[in-house]
Amino acid sequence: MTILTTSRQRPTPWTGDGFRASWDKVCVKAGVTGVTFHDLRATFITLAYRVHGASFREISEVSGHAERDVERVIRQHYLAGDSVIERIEIGNSSETKL
């Protein structure tokens, strides 16, 4: 299954290098620093587990991680900082900046 495609007239799946190059350009244009695509994947994994109750297996099938890596990300980002995640969710829902 293809989830992300290019915005060309005839959309095609992103290559790793193509996505990385486009990601970098957008971050520069937006003035975003210190955030990588891998950060977004970790956020997806954490939210899929926390908000949607997805299993390690389900998350690994979508993210491309091994189940043990999904568990590591969840332990590192979710189980270690529950109060931080709650603050982020509250901030996002009220559209305030933390």
Domain assignment present for residue 66? The answer is: yes
- Is residue 44 included in any domain, yes or no? yes
The better pLDDT of the pair 83, 36 is held by 36
- Tell me whether residue 15 is in a domain: no
Is 14 part of a structural domain of the chain? no
Could you read off the pLDDT of 4-31 as tens digits, one per residue? 677 778 888 888 788 888 888 888 999 9
75 belongs to a structural domain: yes
What span, in angstroms and rounded, lies between the C-alpha atoms of 20 and 54? 27
Q: What is the tens place of the pLDDT at every residue in 80-89?
A: 555 666 676 6
Contact indicator for 13, 27 with CB cutoff of 8 Å: no
Residue 59 lies in a domain: yes
What is the span of the domain harbouring residue 89? 34-94
pTM: 0.55
pLDDT: which is higher, 87 or 39: 39
User: Does residue 58 form part of some domain?
Assistant: yes
Structural domains counted in the chain: 1
- Does residue 57 have a pLDDT over 90? yes
The per-residue pLDDT for 37 is 76
Within a domain: residue 89? Answer: yes
